[in-house]
């Protein structure tokens, strides 16, 4: 019988999903470590302009903080011939992540896309994951919905300590007028371009991370409260892949 509550968080440009078996201390370490590494990567590379370099720097920073990568798969042109980008992501996640956590991620993303989730949390996630630079086009109905947007999003899943399953997704798309850029995750795959996906399994060594913990938390300061948002709990199910 499964016990506990699944918990999910916005963590800057990422969403993290934890099973009820994960300890509070491990959860805090994962969120702090990831946030620090995201900010460190952004200090060196614009994640919407140089998404591949940003992702590499982010993963390297995780390793330096003793979040040791044990598996990495990178695809800059995944073979997708039908369905949506999310269908492909879900298939890749299913090899490493419990179905219940994948479904929670899908539900959270769809709530964000359709506007049914918390508005402040939704705004934060949009600010951290999407960039739609202005386009110099004449005003008029023919030019509506022609703004190209860059999306960089990470999803993190922790079912059993110390394993962290990560997927880092970046792509560009021109969302139809009135649709949010993240909605293109669920659109037909041919609506996206410059797609890059990294699937990572890592193990956070809490003892070794403890050497950095105090200084890291101090450096993050108020950004922990600003960029880490608790999205709430939900009953945990026994669903597995």
* Section 129-140 average pLDDT: 75
* Section 43-70 average pLDDT: 97
Q: Decide if 31 contacts 18 (C-beta within 8 A).
A: no
Whether 158 has a pLDDT exceeding 70, the answer reads yes
Whether 240 has a pLDDT exceeding 50, the answer reads no
Whether 214 has a pLDDT exceeding 90, the answer reads yes
Burial of 115 (0-12, 13-18, 19+ CB in 10 A): exposed
Q: Is the dihedral of CA 102, 170, 41, 72 positive or negative?
A: positive
CA–CA dist 73, 114 (Å, integer): 31
pLDDT band at 141 (very low <50, low <70, confident <90, very high): low
Q: Decide if 28 contacts 214 (C-beta within 8 A).
A: no
Token couple for 138: 């004449």
pLDDT score, position 236: 61
3-state secondary structure of 150: strand
Alpha-helix runs per DSSP H in the chain? 24-44, 51-64, 85-93, 99-114, 119-129, 206-220, 223-227
Question: Domains of the chain, with CATH numbers?
Answer: 22-134+144-230 (3.40.198)
pLDDT score, position 140: 54
pLDDT band at 137 (very low <50, low <70, confident <90, very high): low
Q: Percent of the chain scored above 70 by pLDDT?
A: 89
CA–CA dist 180, 126 (Å, integer): 9
Overall pTM surpassing 0.85 (yes/no):
yes
Considering only CA atoms, give the Rg of the chain.
18
Compute the 3-state secondary structure of the chain and give helix, strand, coil in percent, each to the nearest 5.
40, 30, 30
Count of other CB atoms within 10 angstroms of residue 46: 14
Tens digits of residue pLDDT in 73-97: 998 766 666 788 999 999 999 999 9
* Section 99-106 average pLDDT: 95
* Section 185-200 average pLDDT: 89
Whether 232 has a pLDDT exceeding 90, the answer reads no
CA–CA dist 236, 7 (Å, integer): 9
pLDDT band at 200 (very low <50, low <70, confident <90, very high): very high
pLDDT score, position 115: 77
* Section 140-159 average pLDDT: 81
* Section 17-27 average pLDDT: 96
pLDDT band at 25 (very low <50, low <70, confident <90, very high): very high
Higher pLDDT, 84 or 53: 53
């Amino acid at each position: 019988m499964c016990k506990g509550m699944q918990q999910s968080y916005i963590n800057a440009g990422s969403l993290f999903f934890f099973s009820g078996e994960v300890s509070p201390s491990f959860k805090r370490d994962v969120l702090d470590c990831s946030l620090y590494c995201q900010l460190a990567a952004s200090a060196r590379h614009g994640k919407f302009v140089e998404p591949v370099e940003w992702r590499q720097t982010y993963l390297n920073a995780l390793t330096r903080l003793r979040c040791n990568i044990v598996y990495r798969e990178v695809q800059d042109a995944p073979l997708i011939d039908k369905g949506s980008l999310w269908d492909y992501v879900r298939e890749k996640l299913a090899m490493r992540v419990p179905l219940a956590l994948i479904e929670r991620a899908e539900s959270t993303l769809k709530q964000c896309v359709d506007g049914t989730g918390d508005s402040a949390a939704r705004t934060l996630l949009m600010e951290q994951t999407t960039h739609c630079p202005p386009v110099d086009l004449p005003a008029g109905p023919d030019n509506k919905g022609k703004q190209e947007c860059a999306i960089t999003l990470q999803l993190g899943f922790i079912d059993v300590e110390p394993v962290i399953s990560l997927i880092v997704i970046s792509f560009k798309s021109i969302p139809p007028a009135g649709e949010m850029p993240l909605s293109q995750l669920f659109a037909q795959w041919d609506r996206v371009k410059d797609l890059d996906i990294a699937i990572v399994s890592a193990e956070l060594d809490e003892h070794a991370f403890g050497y950095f913990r105090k200084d890291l938390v101090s450096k993050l300061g108020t950004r922990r409260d600003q960029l880490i948002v608790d999205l709430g709990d939900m009953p945990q199910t026994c669903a597995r892949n």
